[in-house]
Structure 1
């Protein structure tokens, strides 16, 4: 059973692209947050999505929101992906898929590929939007839309 609108974002920890341990308690419940799960670094749609978040990152920052991208790719893969595309936001390696399971992110394509889903939570860590679509760019629009209403 996955998270629903109105639920609190669960606590989680993972290694970020700086090699540091990211603890969700340092961000969740302190500021709005956009957490997006994506299937794989450097694939066409995932790259478009990440670059769209990058290109509109200042819009998210102006709304005091943090953006966090999560996939099961390795730390090495995330570092290369972030450097190649100059991604200014947090990328986390969920190699054991524990975070994905905690959120209840479904798989796509007959259950074979990790799903693409975006969760927007308010400054209290309460989910305000869950958006699940294979189209990467729409996630950015939907996230900004809901953040502007908070």
Structure 2
């Protein structure tokens, strides 16, 4: 498979979407503060999507310690995201892309029954897409690939070492 067209390019960030709390979120405001793990998934409360969202939830602290912020995106409504995040106890932002603007900007293809491909982007602090992971059915692939990518990132490694040193000093 050919590399994704946006790999090693500047991440689209000029769009504002609502999160699960009905607050405006613009990726441009978040770039530069941390690495961003932006994952697109087909639909709230479906079997594989719930597994993926919960897998990111279960690795949330580990991903944070590696210097990254997780953001999930689907075409579901703010209300659907609010219910999904609450029920699954998701500690990260979910963006409502009902018009498909962000999906289009990130060139996420539509596949089965018009659902978007399960695609995850790692956006570095400079706003460059450093990794793209695509797999419609294997949510686990996304989690393990993100962790490997973040562990290889020198900035993420330095942040993780700094956090670990701080934890050891606190003990």
Larger Rg: 2
* d(CA) in 2 for partners of 1:122, 1:3: 17
Which residue pairs with 1:4 in the alignment? Answer: 6
Which residue pairs with 1:50 in the alignment? Answer: 53
User: In the alignment, does 2:133 pair up with 1:97?
Assistant: no
TM-score by length of 1: 0.94
For the 8 Å contact 2:41–2:118, the answer to whether it is kept is yes
| Large movers: runs of 4+ above 4 Å | none
Instruction: Please point out which of 113, 123, 126 is paired with 2:125.
Output: 123
Shift of 1:95: 0.4
Q: Which residues of 2 match residues 31-50 of structure 1 at below 5 A?
A: 31-50=34-53
Q: String of CA shifts for 1:70-112, please: whole Å, max 9, x gaps.
A: 0000000000000000000000000000000000001122x62
Query: Could you say which structure has the greater relative contact order, defined with CA pairs below 8 angstroms and 6 or more residues apart?
Result: 1
Shift of 1:114: 1.7
Q: Which runs of 5+ in 1 are unaligned?
A: none
* d(CA) in 2 for partners of 1:65, 1:3: 23
Q: Which runs of 5+ in 2 are unaligned?
A: 154-171
Q: Secondary structure at the match of 1:105?
A: coil
Structure showing the higher helix proportion among its residues: 2
TM-score by length of 2: 0.83
* d(CA) in 1 for partners of 2:144, 2:135: 12
State the superposition RMSD in angstroms.
1.2
**Paired residues, number:** 148
Structure showing the higher strand proportion among its residues: 1
